[in-house]
Amino acid sequence: MTSNLGPEITRFDKIKQGLFHEAKKFLAVSIYFAIWFFSISLITKMSLIQSGVESTEIIYSLSFAVIRALIVAKFLITAELLFPMRIESGQPLLYPLIKHSLIYTAFLIFMGFVEKGFEGLLHRENFFEALQHFGHGDPKVIASIAFVYWLIVVHYLFYSALESRFGVVEMRKILFGNKE
């Protein structure tokens, strides 16, 4: 059935489009975080090797980076749907951005502890004792890791906020130029 405005979109088509959009977003966010997590893991592994400490396999680091990225992507997308960053016209972006980025960073730190716990289980350690290995148990190192995670998250949230304000098409024009 068509109207003067064009073909009518069915409810099923809207759901299908929404699922496709969310799947693309999930894939993009997962790749973004997997690259960052693997890079951080690779730097850590290389510094351990230079210090003379035998490190785990690189493929192990990649697999944990991908698993963590998938979990974080799902968490962030769900959190954005349930608690969207509300930015009123004329309101500064800075305050909601800081609030949301700190919450998401806290989740990433939590995930880091959980990863260390599972890594300990793989090496036949107690899960809770292995948690102490995150950041070598040093609050300064954990704070440094949190800062790096915050930098990763804040860029993602900044892009997401701009995309929601201007739209996907306009953001593509801003980033990649006008392709008309």
- Looking at residues 76-104, what average pLDDT do you find? 83
Residue 69 has pLDDT above 70, yes or no: yes
Longest dimension (CA), the chain: 73
Q: What is the DSSP letter of 136?
A: G
Check residue 27 and give its pLDDT: 92
Strands (E), 63-138: none
Among candidate residues 108, 129, 107, 106, the one with its CA nearest the CA of residue 118: 129
Check residue 163 and give its pLDDT: 83
Residue 40 has pLDDT above 80, yes or no: yes
pLDDT, tens digit, for every residue of 148-166? 999 999 998 988 888 888 8
- Looking at residues 14-43, what average pLDDT do you find? 87
Alpha-carbon distance of 163 to 67, in angstroms, equals: 26
Check residue 180 and give its pLDDT: 56
Check residue 146 and give its pLDDT: 92
Task: Provide the token pair at 172.
Answer: 């593509």
Residue 1 has pLDDT above 50, yes or no: no
Check residue 54 and give its pLDDT: 67
